[in-house]
Structure 1
Amino acid sequence: NGWKINLLVCYDLRFPVWARQQFDEEKAFEYDVLIYVANWPERRSTAWKSLLQARAIENQCYVIGVNRVGADGNNIYHSGDSMVIDPLGEILYHKKDEEDVFTITLKKEDLNGIRERFQFWRDADEFQIKA
């Protein structure tokens, strides 16, 4: 339905360049939604939550963070903290300490309005990631 999605995994969240939004006048934005599927323990939950919000703001996109809940085989606890964040960094959904199935409607017109109002993406430097 016209949504472009970028899927990333766990540790990728620590490296903003992997999620760096690129804009091309012909192609427009590379993606509209970033999804992180992760296994972040509770002791790093502050970083998890802060970095998800940062990726949403800096890339002007929705961010969905899906994280593990409960103790693993090494008795390390995972608090979940699964979230949906809008392009301004506002938390639309947050679930801590329990499993959940949740449905939310993301609004493309809101996303486009934010990108139109805050056009800082026009000032970003071009770059390439090389192996």
Structure 2
Amino acid sequence: MKIATVSFNSVWENKKANLIHLERIVKSLKYKADFVVFPEMTLTGFSVSNLDFAEDFTNSDSIRIIKNIAKENQINIVFGMMISKGVNRYNSCIAVNRNGEIDGNYEKMHLFSYSGEDKLISCGNEVKSIPWRGGWGLSICFDLRFPELYQKLSKENLILVNIANWPKSRVSHWRTLLNARAIENQSFMIGVNRIGTDGNELAYEESSCIFSPTGDKIEPVEIADEIQLFDLNLDEAIEWRKKFPIENDRRNNIYKKFYN
């Protein structure tokens, strides 16, 4: 299966410019990729303080545009944006299929209190998987530091995804945690991070990558600007889980006591 990761350089708080750039990238991948994954808050950058950027999930112009882009180019798209549901606002990861339909919407569960994100938006409370080939488990940025989420997701998914705005100053943590999540869950771990500098003067470096279920960094088959194209063989995860069935040795009944 062909998956493209896009180390998107989001224009700060400029949805129009980012939607134009997103469409240009997706068009360039038509007939080349089955899936394309963009970073957290693709359309604005990590601007959680400006709550006016949240769009009503059931009546979003941006989502409607991306649905059309997916359908026109016959590509499944994962992207991030701030949405609203009633009075609540969420940092969301949305999966749109090639027919222009939403297959999943994950609302960030672990909010980044270090930046004050938890004071501004609501946290999600639902683990989200989508029924794409192999099963895909969704997560966002800071979630990566909480392995329990990925243990849950890996039970029904061979592919785990984290979309992020992870600063250059902590990028070694990003790579290490992505690798660990792949190894401990025997899953493909896709991490997609932005590049450039945001409106808070935080710098980001090219660090989008995919780790295999055995923990090896997978090399892209093609690279073009912000885009890396990968060809994944899901049988690798299936066979590795059979060959080295570490899940059988988990002590879930004991672990539950840790959280009481």
Identify the TM-score tier after normalising by the shorter chain: 0.7 to 0.9
CA distance in 2, matches of 1:111, 1:13: 20
State the aligned residue count: 121
1:6 equivalent to 2:137? Answer yes
> d(CA) in 2 for partners of 1:53 and 1:78?
19
TM-score using structure 2 length: 0.43
Shift of 1:43: 0.6
The residue aligned with 1:15 is: 146
Runs of 5+ consecutive residues of structure 1 not aligned to the other structure: 24-28
Q: Residue 68 in 1 paired to residue 194 in 2? A: yes
Distance 1:113 1:66 in 2: 26
Query: Following the alignment from structure 1 to structure 2, what is the Cα–Cα distance between the partners of residues 38 and 22?
Result: 18
Deviation sequence 1:102-123 (CA, Å, 0-9, x none): 2212112211111111111111
How far does residue 51 in structure 1 lie from its aligned partner after superposition? 0.1
For 1:78, the equivalent position in structure 2 comes to 204
Q: CA deviation at 1:68?
A: 1.0
Deviation at 1:22, TM superposition (A): 6.8
Of the three residues 155, 163, 167, the one matched with 1:41 is 167
Deviant stretches of 4+, over 2 Å: 125-128
Structure showing greater Rg: 2
Partner of 2:183: 57
CA distance in 2, matches of 1:34, 1:114: 16
Native 8 Å contact 1:85 1:93 kept in 2: no
Structure 2: gaps of 5 or more residues: 1-131
Identity of aligned residues (%): 33
Distance 1:74 1:22 in 2: 32
Moved more, 14-23 or 39-48: 14-23
Shift of 1:99: 5.1
After superposition, the C-alpha distances for 1:32-80 in whole angstroms (9 at most, x for unaligned) are: 0000000110010110000000000000000000001011112110113
Deviations 1:3-55 (A, max 9, x none): 110010010001111111478xxxxx311000000011001011000000000
1:31 aligns with 157
